[in-house]
Chains A and B, each alone.
Chain A
């Protein structure tokens, strides 16, 4: 299957700082990527849809000014958590959508980024 990478895999930061997380599709182009957040023992919650060359679409309740998304190329989307606070500590996972010439699509997930805000 296709490979999606995320960087960093984990990060610890102080409250009030900003953290940037990168999501890359390594062997396919992805016009659409997705950002999820997962708290312990809970399911993945979709935060936003990242569209190459246009603004991200945020889910209800997700602050777009706090979680900045940039999808500048067909293989890279970034999520910046601005002015991070301890309640932002979570497992952030991206996925990239691969489409097939014969129709259909599949989403592949990155390995996730574990953010801890002190």
Chain B
């Protein structure tokens, strides 16, 4: 089983739609969780950290479910510019390391 798993998609949605992505992680000791956005042939850019209480940033909402070991990202009112690959990242906190393990990414296509 992979340490961090995501549905690769693609998710093809119309503008204005609400779309949700899930990401599961295998190590229950994992400490930190993040969502990154990656555009084609570019580096990942931090979208948001994921906190236990859940957090919201504009149209984006992230949730953490420790019991079921998954994190989610909800995008409301999708824009064409939201088209990208969304990567979840988890710090498994092995050997007190701060390394991040990435999922394979979920591709989102927002159509007019």
Contact = CB atoms under 8 A, between A and B. Distances in A.
Contact of B100 (A34, A42, A110): A34
A34 B99 contact: yes
A8 B42 CA distance: 14
A75 interface: no
Contact of A93 (B43, B97, B103): B43
Interface residues of B, number: 17
Contacts of B45: 109
B87 A108 contact: no
Interface stretch (A13-21, A43-51, A61-69, A81-89): A43-51
Main secondary structure of the interface of B (DSSP, over half): loop
B104 interface: yes
B44 A109 contact: yes
Nearest to B85: A43
Contact of B99 (A1, A46, A110): A46
A43 B104 contact: yes
Q: What range describes how many residues of A lie at the interface?
A: 20 to 34
A33 B97 CA distance: 11
Contacts of B42: 111-112
Interface in B1-58: 41-46, 49
A76 B80 CA distance: 37
Contacts of A57: 97
Contact of A42 (B43, B44, B101, B104): B104
Q: Which 4 A-B pairs have the closest CB atoms?
A: A109-B43, A43-B104, A44-B102, A112-B43
